[in-house]
Structure 1
Amino acid sequence: MLKNYMGIINLDENEDRIRELTRHRPLASVPIAGRYRIIDFILSNMTNAGIDNIGIFTKMNSRSLMDHLSNGRPWDLNRKIEGLRVFNFSENDPVYDDIHNFSNNMEYFTYSRQQYVIVAPSYMICNIDYHKLAKYHEDSENDITIVYKKVNDADRSFYKCDVLNIYNGDRIASVGENIGTYKEANICMETYVMKKELFMEIVYDCVRTGRCRKLKKAIYSSLDRYSVGAYDFVGYLKCVNSLYSYYKANMDFLNPRVNKEIFFDQSPIYTKTKDESPTKYTNDSHVVNSIVASGCVIEGYVENCVISRKVHIAKGAVLKDCIILQNCEIGPNAKLSNIITDKYVKIEGDKELKGDKDIPLVIERERNL
């Protein structure tokens, strides 16, 4: 159990390419896989490793995230000492400046009893064993360890992600950006392990000198100053940094191999529980290779879809390759293909909506101003 580690979830992700779903919520609280939120994966990874002091550095417009996290009880983090802490009281947008977010809350780090920190984003979807990562970091005696994954689909996935250029097996020569020109790449998972004192030193140095306003940029620019190693993660990974990658991640969960690895093979993924009745399937319904959460009423045809809680799909409706978020209503004889609906969307009967597997169509609900 990593009792000597504290977890820092840094929500500094750029949301420009998934703005359809993040207009009114942070990326971390976007629903995924039927009943989860994106932040559930990293939060569960940390708690499964026994990390019981976790700080989430978020941004403004975080009402839905705060509602989902509540007091941290689903992750066993509702404690009087340490547990879950959320910091979102800053004028700085962490996309451009997370250093000052950290420096403004430095007392949190100063008075924590842990010796090491693991800093990670929310949008890297995986089920990683932090015990192995911590052991590698301590045995290698690196100042900083960066987690990465070797991929062979960088031309289609992981666009705009950081790429590590590695030599001697696990030494980092430089860090670039994936622009989709090569299939193979070492994708940086933006997960960093170091001693807490070093983390604080980097933050103070950036504030004092003004040389960097982002933690990861400060690390990348100090490869000759610190001993920086690379840890190779070999499991499933999806970076949800665009509408396409979000759609692909949900579709991947319909693959039994991926679903088993993420949710069953290793440690469980926890989420906020809701007391809903079981989903009702009528005699007219037909469901094929889909994830359907609780509280739904299914009367139509559903194929290769991810259906969230409390969704009503009326008789005669046909849904293929769709992601339907919670509390939606799909009217009689409606036909949907490659569609993503936000929460509380109502599709009238006999409507026919069609997107593309590479460019899914997003239906947003009307909001009263």
Structure 2
Amino acid sequence: MDSCLGIITTGDIDFNFGVLCNHRPVYMLPFGGRYRLVDFAISNMVNHNLSTIALYTGEKINSTMDHLGNGEPWDLNRRFSGLFLFAPMVEKDQGIPLGDISQFCSTEEFFNRVKEENILVRHPNYLAKVNLTEAYKYFIDSEADITLIYHKSKDTEGKLVNCNKMYLDEESNLIDIGINLGTEETFNHFIRMAFLKKDVFLRLVKESREKGDPKFLIDAISQYRGKLKINAYEFKGHVESIKDLKSYYDANLNLLKEDVSKEVFYEGGQVFTKTKDEPSTYYTDESNVENSLVANGCIIKGKVENSIIFRGVKVGENAIVKNSIIMQKTQIQDGAIVVNSIIDKSATISEKVNIAGSSAMPYIVERYRHITND
């Protein structure tokens, strides 16, 4: 895949994630005890030998710069290729993002300069460890202008309503792209990942920008479906579509399933992230941990069940944490009870405080907040 450039788009609209995205973009949401969502997209690319990767950061860039830096954890700190971060070059139109087409257009010089002849564009909020080498071979061998990657998703509970739905012919050529309204139990779910010839990509970007519509690459692809050879590659592994608080909560807790955890963390290459040295987690004799993912640097004195615990968390004596996501450096003090909740980093839940959400609507605590009984 030496002739393929990787692009990671900004991600979904931040307000779908409430206070968790007040100070960070969606792709920087903590995930799986020690990672950020973007780690999975970048790692998937470098594990398949993509050496030039561009990330469109969005406006909240501080956490991105701190976490990604020069790309060293992914071996992307290189002189000529490596990791490129692009902050927004255009402003929002009355609070509404102008779309990825304008972002791509503002960095046209970059695309003209890089040597790669093909492009992989992916959305950071889709967790899928696709065999990119195999998918790229399919793209090249089929002589397609664009190859879209999809998953045959079964959705009996409506969790994937409003995700992109693809219609294909018998030879996996694109007929159309629409929106899943839940009318079919199983549908061709476009997981926002696509290979494009670079000249085709630039043509779509330029012509869309000149016309002023469409504003998003996916819509441009749909409009050009009769003029280009567009086919589809099926991914058969585990997929998470993280589009709001509920799906983010579910995706984390799904990691407690052995088959999901094995695929996400171990199959198809390692997941790389920023290194943070922490001691091993300390468990007292009175602690009780069941079916949970606990990172290093924690002190566990109470009970933890069906939860994701990030680095440096302290769970006090007689405290209970159940079905929850507890982010780094948070303190759950003695006797506190936390159920069906997402606690952002460096928060404090005081002694004997009870907080509880539901599996359908988890309780959210903003970072640095101190929750007391007063």
- Per the TM superposition, whether the score is higher than 0.5 is yes
Please identify, of 115-124 and 17-26, the stretch whose mean Cα deviation from structure 2 is larger: 17-26
Structure 1 residue 102 displacement after superposition:
1.0
**Are the counterparts in 2 of residues 92 and 100 from structure 1 also a CA contact under 8 Å?**
no
Structure 1 residue 95 displacement after superposition:
4.6
Deviations 1:206-251 (CA, angstroms, capped at 9, x unpaired)? 1222232211111111111111101111000001111111111111
Residues in 2 aligned to 1:343 and 1:180: alpha-carbon distance in whole angstroms: 35
Structure 1 residue 65 displacement after superposition:
1.4
Distance 1:309 1:67, change over 3 A: same
Residues in 2 aligned to 1:328 and 1:95: alpha-carbon distance in whole angstroms: 33
Is the partner of 1:265 in helix, strand or coil?
Answer: coil
**Are the counterparts in 2 of residues 7 and 55 from structure 1 also a CA contact under 8 Å?**
yes
Residues in 2 aligned to 1:138 and 1:108: alpha-carbon distance in whole angstroms: 23
**Are the counterparts in 1 of residues 344 and 368 from structure 2 also a CA contact under 8 Å?**
no
Which aligned pairs between 1:146-225 and structure 2 lie closer than 5 A? 146-153=148-155, 155-225=157-227
Give the partner amino acid of 1:150: K
Which aligned pairs between 1:220-231 and structure 2 lie closer than 5 A? 220-231=222-233
**Are the counterparts in 2 of residues 316 and 332 from structure 1 also a CA contact under 8 Å?**
yes
Q: Which residue of 1 aligns with 2:17?
A: 18
In structure 2, list runs of 5 or more residues that go unmatched.
Answer: none
TM-score (ref. length: structure 2): 0.95
**Are the counterparts in 2 of residues 12 and 98 from structure 1 also a CA contact under 8 Å?**
no
Structure 1 residue 367 displacement after superposition:
6.9
Which aligned pairs between 1:305-320 and structure 2 lie closer than 5 A? 305-320=307-322
Give the partner amino acid of 2:142: S
Deviations 1:51-106 (CA, angstroms, capped at 9, x unpaired)? 00000012101211111101101111001111000001323459542112111111
Q: Which residue of 1 aligns with 2:7?
A: 8
Residues in 1 aligned to 2:299 and 2:161: alpha-carbon distance in whole angstroms: 37
Structure 1 residue 49 displacement after superposition:
0.5
Q: Which residue of 1 aligns with 2:27?
A: 28
Q: Which residue of 2 aligns with 1:145?
A: 147
In structure 1, list runs of 5 or more residues that go unmatched.
Answer: none
Give the partner amino acid of 2:49: G
Distance 1:54 1:60, change over 3 A: same
**Are the counterparts in 2 of residues 92 and 101 from structure 1 also a CA contact under 8 Å?**
no
Residues in 1 aligned to 2:115 and 2:175: alpha-carbon distance in whole angstroms: 33
Q: Which residue of 1 aligns with 2:344?
A: 342
Distance 1:360 1:367, change over 3 A: closer
Structure 1 residue 358 displacement after superposition:
1.3
Fraction of identical pairs, as percent: 34
Please provide the CA RMSD for this pair.
1.5
Give the partner amino acid of 1:271: T
Structure 1 residue 154 displacement after superposition:
5.8
Q: Say if 2:61 is the partner of 1:89.
A: no
Residues in 2 aligned to 1:23 and 1:227: alpha-carbon distance in whole angstroms: 41
